[in-house]
Amino acid sequence: MFYLKFGIVLFTLLILSNNFSFVFAQSMYDFKGKDTNISPLYPNTNSNRSSSNRSSSNRSSSNRSSSNRSSSISEDYQNIKYPSKIRFRYLTGTYSSDFQEATSSISSIIWDGVGIGQSVFKNKTSHPDKSVELENTMIDLSYTFGDEYTLTLGSSAIYSGKFIGTTSDSQKYNSTNVFGYGHFSIFGVEYGIFEILLGYQYIKYAYLDLESESTAIYWSSFNDSGNLYLAGIGIVF
């Protein structure tokens, strides 16, 4: 009787264990077949790579457009140019003291910034032992910066001159053999077709081969330098 009861209980447990295994296996199958919205630990590298490529492409496009805008602005700035103008100018300046009187004049024509002209410098000095009178003629080359407000820088070269020197014993010396150079700067302001001009000029020169009727050689050469402030007016077309 005892063995019969034990057999019935064992048989019942066997049936229950088979049913439980079947249900558990079915549940595992259903779980594996379902989709899940849980993100994986490592994201999809292909998706990140395409996103990175799109970002790099956008940055490259932005950089190219910015570079194009910068180059366009630079080209526009380089293309800015003042209109061509023709300028006629005349300036003069004078210096005088008890023993010296010096004058200078500058005449020039300027076209599109490039100028050419002529300067005439005269100097007369008187000392107890000698007196000197001379005149230098120079050719000027210059360049003008600006439009309505201008700055002109130029240089000069002496190509002709005349020197007369007189000593205290009335001996006269003459020479036309001269060389020298100079430079000048001019600031200008336009008022309509006119210009108001202020300038500064420096000149250095030397006369050689001084000749005299006397056989005694007193002077062999004469050199000097000077500077003047000038003012003038110009016409602009």
Contact 169, 212 (CB under 8 A): no
Domain that holds residue 22: 2-79
CATH number at residue 220: 2.40.160.20
**pLDDT at position 36, please?**
42
Number of domains in the chain: 2
For residue 122, is it left (φ>0), alpha (ψ between -120 and 50) or beta?
beta
- Looking at the fold, whether 8 and 113 belong to one and the same domain comes out as no
Distances (CA, A) of 150 to 51, 86, 185, 200: 58, 13, 10, 14
Q: What is the pLDDT of residue 32?
A: 45
| pTM passes above 0.75 | no
Strands 177-191 and 149-167: antiparallel
Residue that terminates a domain, selected from 79, 107, 128: 79
Predicted local confidence at residue 25, as pLDDT:
47
Q: What pLDDT, on a 0 to 100 scale, did the predictor assign at position 27?
A: 45
108 plus 67 within the same structural domain? no
> Residue ranges of the chain with pLDDT lower than 70?
1-82, 215-218
